[in-house]
Every structure is written in C-alpha cells, then in structure tokens.
Structure 1
C-alpha cells in the first residue's frame, strides 16, 4: 500500500473517531481501527506530517490530534467520490412519511423535521417564496459545541435571518448539486452547512446546519435523497 492511501485512511479513521468522541485522537487509537496492520509509530509520523500540512492540529502538547476545517474538507471530498447512499430500507422509511400528505407546506415541515431528527443537527428548508422551515434547535443545544458562547450566538443570529444567510452563501453554492460548506460562512466560522437546491430552477433550498464535527457519512446521503423526494413533489 502506498503512503498516500494510508494517510487518507488515517485521516478518515481519525475524523470519524473524533466525531464520535469529541476528544483528541492518538496514533494508537487510529492504528487499532485501520483495516490492515500498521504500527502506531508509522501512524504517528503520518499524523505529524498532516499536522504540518494543516489537515490536523494538536490542541495540547501531550494530546492527540483533531481535524481542521481543511482536514474535514479533504475527508468530505473522499466521501463524495465514494457516493455512499441510503439503504433501500432507509429510503422506504423516509418516503413513507410523505405518502399521506397533501399540503406542500406540511411536506416541507416534515422534511425539515426529518433532516433534523436523522442528522442530529438543524434541518432547514426555504421555498421559492422565502418561507422558512426550521427544526432541531434542541439537537444543537445538546451538543458540546453549543457551550461555546461565540459559536452559540453566531449560530442563533444566522438562523434568525435565514434569507440573509442563503444570500451570503449564494456565490459558493453550486447549482443543481449538493454543497458542503465547512467554516465558509463569515458568520458561522465553526459550523458546517450541507446544502442543496431543489425544485423548479433550483430556487428552493434544503440544508443541514451543525458544527464542523458533523456525522458527514450520515448527513450527505440524507440531503441527497431528501432532494430526490422533494424534486418529485
């Protein structure tokens, strides 16, 4: 195995461990979870190199590493290439929530609620008349990141003005596809916004909003399939 592939695997394991534990991750932890045998010393060297490249950072001298925004972006690029999808069972369960709904506004409320419940973050939907559907504030309140006053205040301010938030992001959103904005919003530096256009001319928007320590393997396919459902309405 070449060293670049191994480093990508080290980054993947480290990020997924950090997302789960919210604690700096050490080389021994990573080595034990790799799908092949490699020494913790080799992993330690890989992590040191990725720290120099700005993919990881070391919060304390004796601690393990945590991912930076750049590290998350590299990881998400890999997930996007792998294109993990929801299972058929998951797709059927999601679709079932919309079968008996006739009112479009009710469907949008359900969509925002499901995005929030299944991702553990905030679910956001804005239609082409700028009506906004938000759900999941209680999810955010339970996250450790919410104890950071700066993060909490900036997030609440941004969500109080969702139309302005979408307008500010308009230049970074690729029409017709899913976008993952990690620390890219000036008002939400420690946040990730997984966002996609849907509907006629792509004027409607769905999004999952949360901290950069997001469960991306869950959020990305969830947004993609929800877009499919909404495009068919």
Structure 2
C-alpha cells in the first residue's frame, strides 16, 4: 500500500514525539504536533491504518501508539531530516580528539569517550581492518639494559608497541641493526605474512647476528600478531542504565554481549560506507533486541578505516546522532591520515568555518 503525504507526516510526527517523551502517542498530541491541520478523527484513522501496515504498535489498550521496527526503518530511510552539529558540539569533539592526535590508539580511545559523553549512550570505536595492512615502520627502543620496546606502525593507521626482556644488552648498535634489517626485509610486508616461519627464515639469513636478532624478531612476530587483530574500544556502558527501555534482564544480556569484543568487532565490520543504522530486530544478535547500533566508517586517505558508533535503545534521536557520527568519523579519519602522512585535514576544517 502506497502511503500518502498525510500519513507519512502522521508517522513522522508520532515517531519524533515518542523519541522525545518515551510515552505512547495519542491523536490529540499528534494534532498539536501537526498544528491542528488534521482532525483528531482523521489522525486516529491514519494511526489505525499505519498499525495494520506494521509501522506502529499499540503496547496497551489505550489509544496511544509507538513506532515498530518497520516504522523506525521507514522514518530513518525516507522521512527524517538531519539536525546540524552545533559549533559547541564541534568544538567539544575537536578538543577531545586533538588531545591525543599523535597517538592513534589514544585517539581512538578518546573518540569513544567523547562520543559517550556527547550522546549518553555506550560508544565504541575500532581499529582499521588489518587483512591487507602492511608494515610501514618498525623500531627498537631501549627501555633498560635488557629491556626493549618494539614499535610497529601499519598502513591501516595502527601503532602497536610491545615491551619485552632479552638475554642480551640493548645497545644503540643493536637497535640500529634491527632498524636496518626490518627496513630491508619487513617494511612493506603484509601483517598476515609475519609468521614464525618468516622470522625463522629471516633470522637464519643473518649469519653471525642470528643469535642476538632472533629474540627481537620473535618479539616482532608477537607484536604483528596483536596488531592484526581488530581492537574495539568501548566507553559509557553505564549510560545504558539510565534509559528506561533497558530493564534488568535486558541490560544484563546486552552488557554480556558488549563484553564479547571479538563478536562485537565482527558485527561492526559487516557494515561499510557512510552511516549505518542497525535496528535490533534486523540484527542476528538476539542480545541487541530493542536496541539500535549506529555505525559510521572513518576513512584513511582514499580507503575505509575502522568504525565509530553508539549502542542505545531503539528510541534514540537519529536525526541528531547521525550527523554527529558523520562529523566524528570525518575528524577521526583526517587526524589518523595526518599521522600516516596521507593528508585529509582540509575537508573537516572547511566544515568548521
């Protein structure tokens, strides 16, 4: 059935009223929202038809209705207008992100924290997918006589460090030898290729230096393995407790799912391009029932990076959340791209003026 303009306005007004109040919406409230342009009787008839179409639900015997998942989907895809990100919100986002702009891991952590504070939902960010990432830089830094930090930077914007002990002294000469060996044999190699046979073959080719270099190359292998795994930062889980839609059992199941970082990362990496709204009823994850996940991809230069998003009740202000996430993703991608010398600061800067 094709919905006419009036019914679409009724549906949109009802969803926006429900998002604002959390209470079932009746015909009188809708008549006020529509500036009395439509009679109460007509609105009741429209609400009944929208319910028959599965776009509205009636939780009680009262006349009030609430949106169904199908109604939310139509509203998000076709009816909703986007609210602009205010100057104050942009300033808050920029300040939080730029505090650790030179440290990709801290930058992603701050992005989740800032998003949780801004939205009052649980917020998350992921490192870029690393299947095709290559190693850009690999350095050994002395942290003590026999204590070293191995620093690894990848083309996916990931900076990974690992502290480990050795049986030999960490001298400037050893650090320089490690730099030369990795620059020649490791930089430009995909993360997925840094396996134990790779480092064993490389160590065997180093002749008299194999004994001192082997522990360092094993440290390289361990660091590369960790860098290849998707990392999820999650902040603001306690925010979920303030939303009445999440009762004790519901929020318990949701919290248990959020603790499964591997499953969460797999869910997020399914979605590409722009902003995606995943309603709980559309997700294969039963713990997300009654929830929504709003995800935006940030970009590293010309390619997709990781994700940033929020998890909250289905009754969230999508018209506000989506533009905020778009701005977060744009700024986060630009800052990470600058770290990798891929450029990308001008686009977001132009949006701030």
So what's the TM-score if we normalise by structure 1? Answer: 0.89
Give the superposed CA RMSD. Answer: 2.0
Give CA deviations for 1:49-108 in whole Å, capped at 9, x if unaligned. Answer: 11000000111222410111111111111356x444313443233213333433222221
Kept in 1, the 8 Å contact 2:84–2:320? The answer is no
Q: Is 1:176–2:253 an aligned residue pair?
A: no
Contact 2:31 2:43 in 1 (8 A): yes
Residues 1:65 and 1:213: Cα distance change in structure 2 (over 3 Å): same
- Tell which deviates more after alignment, 218-227 or 8-17: 8-17
Task: Give 1:118's aligned residue.
Answer: 118
Distance of 1:145 and 1:62 partners within structure 2: 19
Residue 255 of structure 2 is matched in structure 1 by 156
202-211 or 49-58: bigger deviation? 202-211
Say which one has the larger Rg.
Answer: 2
Taking the aligned partners of 1:135 and 1:168, their CA distance within structure 2 comes to 17
**Which residue number corresponds to residue 78 of structure 1?**
78
Displacement of 1:186: 2.5
Cα contact 1:180–1:192 (8 A) shared by 2: yes
Question: What pairs with 1:83-122 in structure 2 (closer than 5 Å)?
Answer: 83-101=82-100, 102-122=102-122
- State the shift of 1:19 in Å: 1.6
**Structure 2 match to 1:62:** 62
TM-score (normalised: structure 2):
0.60
Q: Partners of 2:321 and 2:240 in 1: how far apart?
A: 15
> Where does the alignment leave 5 or more consecutive residues of structure 2 unmatched?
129-226, 336-353
Alignment correspondent of 2:283? 185
SS at match of 1:193: strand
TM-aligned CA deviation for residue 12 of structure 1:
1.7
Deviation at 1:221, TM superposition (A): 0.8
Look up the match of 1:230.
332
Higher mean displacement: 198-207 or 188-197:
198-207
Alignment correspondent of 1:29: 29
Residue in structure 1 matched with residue 299 of structure 2 by the alignment? 199
| Whole-Å separation in 2 of the counterparts to 1:18 and 1:83 | 17
In the TM superposition, residue 148 of structure 1 has moved relative to its aligned partner by 4.6
Provide closer, same or farther for how the CA distance between residues 143 and 89 of structure 1 changes in structure 2, counting only shifts above 3 A.
closer
Q: 1:148 to 1:40 in 2, by over 3 A?
A: farther
Q: Is the 8 A contact 1:119 1:218 kept in 2?
A: no
Structure 2 match to 1:133: 233
Distance 1:79 1:218 in 2: 14
Question: Would you say how many aligned residue pairs link Structure 1 and Structure 2?
Answer: 227
User: Is it true that 1:43 corresponds to 2:48 in the alignment?
Assistant: no
Aligned to 2:210: none
Residues of 2 paired with 1:99 and 1:196: CA distance? 19
Aligned mates of 2:5, 2:91 — CA distance in 1: 35
Q: Relative to structure 1, is the Cα distance of residues 62 and 186 closer, same or farther in structure 2, using a 3 angstrom cutoff? A: same
